Amino acid sequence: MSARNWWLMTAIGLGIMLNPLNSSMISIAIPTLQDVFRLRFTEASWIIFSFYIASAVAQPVMGKASDLFGRKRIFLSGLAVSFAASLLAPLSPTFAWFIVFRVVQSIGTSMMIAVGMAIVRVHITEKQAAALSLLSIFLSGAAAIGPFIGGSLIYGWGWQAVFFVNIPIVIASFALAWKMIPKEEPPTAIPQNKSFRSWLHLIDAAGILLFTAALVGLLVAVLSAKSAGGLQFRHIMVGLAGLIALGTFIRHERRAASPFIPVRAFAKYPAMTKVNIEYMLVNLLFYSLFFGLPSYLQNVRHVSEFHTGMVMLCLGLCSLLAAPIAGIWIDKSGPRPALIVSTILMALGSVWLVTLTQNSPIINVCLALAAFGISNGLNSVGMQAALFEHTPKEIIGVAFGLFNTSRYLGTIISSLLIGIVMGDKLSTGGLQSLGIILAAIALSLVFMSLKQSGRVPGRTDG
């Protein structure tokens, strides 16, 4: 790869790492933010919900926007938005303002994720596979070390530092991207005289609004009922509104000419649909541990932010070490054996959580984290390989959009599950209950994987 391409890769890598870095650093900051804004745990869950809902909506939208307005323009705009959000979030006077800036940050960082891979595919023609794998290291590495960085920053400089740390990264990425990303010709396939209404149809604004309304409505209903200690009429009405929005969204997407989420693809390609369901479930398992355990360690075991980050580093390092091994294994044997081992490890890690007590040595926590970390490394490669295996080439772009949506849905559901099971007052019993639920989900995934590979006892094919 030429020197110019290496600088281009660095510019893109610094930009795209901001999304996973900021989604993972915050896991250590949640207990501190609860104290700062005087929040119950279910209320603090919106720190996670807001980021992932905004990412789930923004990434496909910004992907479309880059086709219309140019990739370099969207990438640089995303950096500018991220800079503003990182500067303003630490100055938030109230929790509501904090959530607003958190959403803005999610949108800004999603703009780089949406177009970073495309820029590499278009402008780097030599050793493209190596370039794409390098971007994957930026993405997975940022997520892996995020809790450690977050814990160190909070321990030394307070929770505001997890936002201020973005500023030098943004400035470096912007300077390099401004110089290294080649100028693009304005898109000629898009008519320049479209009306505002036509643009709304083109990006499926109605679908975006319905999808967001459905997610927010259902989450508000469940979390409000949990916080109030029981189901009330207003919770039922909000939940019903969310369900109506969800039904309307599905109906709208089946008829839309340019759907935000092409739901017809789920029915047309059932094998691809199964991969997305599995991906949603493995992310539900992984992020339930990823977000639940730091709060448990700090609130129940009274472990400091720095040492919590050190413990969580076990999860990230195991994930990073397992990923390249998974690549070699999957090249030889296909994705299914790696995915079977992955689900078994998640089941073992979940059962191990059930055995934890308030006096269990920290090494016991690290064993559960190691099982989930290795599993995540196998999944990060195996699930993408399974997607390639079961998806026609002509819809691979759509398939990756659905794939990312499945990931965000799993993450959102994980936060909801933590809020429901562990409640506002975290305890060892709550963690054990969470472990039981995760073990049941993991075992169902083991069964699904064995069934697809033909290894379920008593099952015959043909």
C-alpha 379: how far from chain center? 14
Would you say residue 202 has pLDDT above 80?
Answer: no
DSSP state of 183: P
Structure tokens at 270: 């059932």
For 260-310, the pLDDT digits (tens) are: 777 777 778 888 888 889 999 999 999 898 888 888 888 888 888 888 888
Distances in Å between the Cα of 262 and the Cα atoms of 53, 199, 268, 406 are: 18, 18, 11, 13
Q: Which of 61-65, 159-163, 398-402, 440-444 has the lowest mean pLDDT?
A: 398-402
**pLDDT over 60 at 12, yes or no:** yes
Please report the pLDDT score of residue 298 as a whole number.
Answer: 87
The C-alpha atoms of residue 405 and residue 197 are separated, in whole angstroms, by 26
For 213-255, the pLDDT digits (tens) are 888 888 778 777 766 666 778 888 988 999 999 999 989 988 8
CA distance 354 to 217: 32
Q: What is the pLDDT of residues 105-135, one digit of tens each?
A: 999 998 888 687 777 767 776 665 566 667 7
- For the chain, report the end-to-end CA distance as a whole number of angstroms: 49
Q: From the CB of residue 361, how many other CB atoms can be counted at a distance below 10 Å?
A: 9
**pLDDT confidence of residue 462:** 38
pLDDT digits 0-9 by tens, 47-103: 888 888 888 788 777 776 776 677 888 899 999 999 999 999 999 999 999 999 999
DSSP letter string, 65-80:
HHHHH-HHHHHHHHHH
Q: Are 239 and 221 in contact (CB under 8 A)?
A: yes
Domain segments of the chain as ranges: 1-183, 204-259, 262-454
Cβ neighbours of residue 378 under 8 Å, at least 6 residues apart?
322, 323, 326, 338, 339, 341, 342, 345
Q: Which pLDDT does position 233 carry in this prediction?
A: 82
The rounded Cα 351 to chain-centroid distance in angstroms is: 24
Alpha-carbon span 423 to 427, nearest angstrom:
9
Return the CATH fold of 1-183: Growth Hormone; Chain: A; (1.20.1250)
CATH of domain 262-454: 1.20.1250.20
Q: Output the pLDDT for position 177.
A: 92
Contact 112, 78 (CB under 8 A): yes
- Structure confidence at residue 396 as a pLDDT band (50, 70, 90): low
DSSP state, residue 94: S
Give the closest residue to 116 by CA, choosing from 4, 16, 185, 5: 16
Maximum distance among all Cα pairs of the chain, rounded to whole angstroms: 68
Check for a shared fold between 1-183 and 262-454. Answer: yes
Cα gap 83→301, rounded to integer Å: 35
Q: Kindly calculate the radius of gyration of the chain based on its CA atoms and give it in whole angstroms.
A: 22
Alpha-carbon distance of 285 to 442, in angstroms, equals 7
Question: Is residue 341 a contact partner of residue 378, using CB atoms and an 8 Å limit?
Answer: yes
**What distance in Å separates the CA atoms of residue 71 and residue 11, rounded to the nearest whole number?**
14
pLDDT-derived band of residue 461, with 50, 70 and 90 as boundaries? very low
Quote the DSSP letter at residue 89. G
Q: Is 301 exposed, middle or buried (0-12, 13-18, 19+ CB in 10 A)?
A: buried
What is residue 191's predicted lDDT score, i.e. its pLDDT?
54
- Whether the per-residue pLDDT at 198 is higher than 80: the answer is no
